[in-house]
Amino acid sequence: MEDTVTETTVLVAIDGPAGSGKSSVSRAAADRLGFGILDTGAAYRSLAWAAGETGADLDDEASMLAVMDRWSYQTTLLGDQRIGVLLNDGAEYKTYDITAAIRTPEVSGQVSRVSKHASVRVRLNEMFRQIVAESGLPGVVIEGRDITTVVAPDAPVRILMTASPEVRATRRAGELPGMSHEQVLADINARDMKDAKVVDFLNPAPGVTLIDTSDMNFEQSIQAVIDTVDAARTTRSSTE
């Protein structure tokens, strides 16, 4: 990626498990830094939604790759997030705004079935790199899975944001009316077990900064990211 991004581009890669706060914190930090934000999880959700629309078998890798051949992803990097897809329904391509649709429990429950396919992740990672390379922005925060180790392993700032399952469940329960803390905690533990098969959210890779937000509020979490970016910028400037 380093040879496709302009020299002035600051790349901030953020990994983390569901409910760690990485999405909301990453977006707020990017806004304050004047950077773009690429939510890679939205692409996985978009693909899960497309599979449901086309009747594809989410557990079959070839079936999911076939969906990707008929699917084109669209996302904003600045301002309010808008997610769209261009999808061939068998007769013609149609454009859909699925910003709200991909956040439903029905779609959320299918994301792990999409992300478990290695070839699907490879193709999406290539797409993420292209989106960043063509952004023309001074900086981009990329958040999601495999970001610090696969998508942007050479990023000058790499962060693993985590929190205890109990804290994550409390945060998520507040976002999911009708679900108890116990139900959300069970869902998070199940999601962690699935995710652990394809990505390590517990141990940061060499060169990755660990930010545990268990005892941080939202503002403190944002500042922790900004401080990490500022520290990397200072180090970078002193070595140039």
Domain boundary, last residue among 136, 160, 185: 136
Domain boundary, last residue among 136, 157, 188: 136
16 labelled binding-site residue: yes
207 labelled binding-site residue: no
User: Does residue 181 sit in the same domain as residue 207?
Assistant: yes
Residues of the domain holding 75: 41-136
pLDDT tens readout for residues 184-204: 889 888 878 877 776 777 778
pLDDT recorded at residue 64: 97
Domain boundary, last residue among 120, 136, 152: 136
User: Does residue 64 sit in the same domain as residue 92?
Assistant: yes
Contact 168, 17 (CB under 8 A): yes
Tell me the helix, strand and coil percentages in the chain, rounded to 5.
50, 20, 35
238 labelled binding-site residue: no
22 labelled binding-site residue: yes
* 208 conformational bin, left if phi > 0, alpha if psi -120 to 50, beta if neither: beta
User: Does residue 100 sit in the same domain as residue 215?
Assistant: no
63 labelled binding-site residue: no
User: Does residue 48 sit in the same domain as residue 160?
Assistant: no
pLDDT tens readout for residues 57-81: 999 999 999 999 999 999 999 999 9
Our count of domains for the chain comes to 2
21 labelled binding-site residue: yes
Domain of 203, CATH number, reads 3.40.50.300
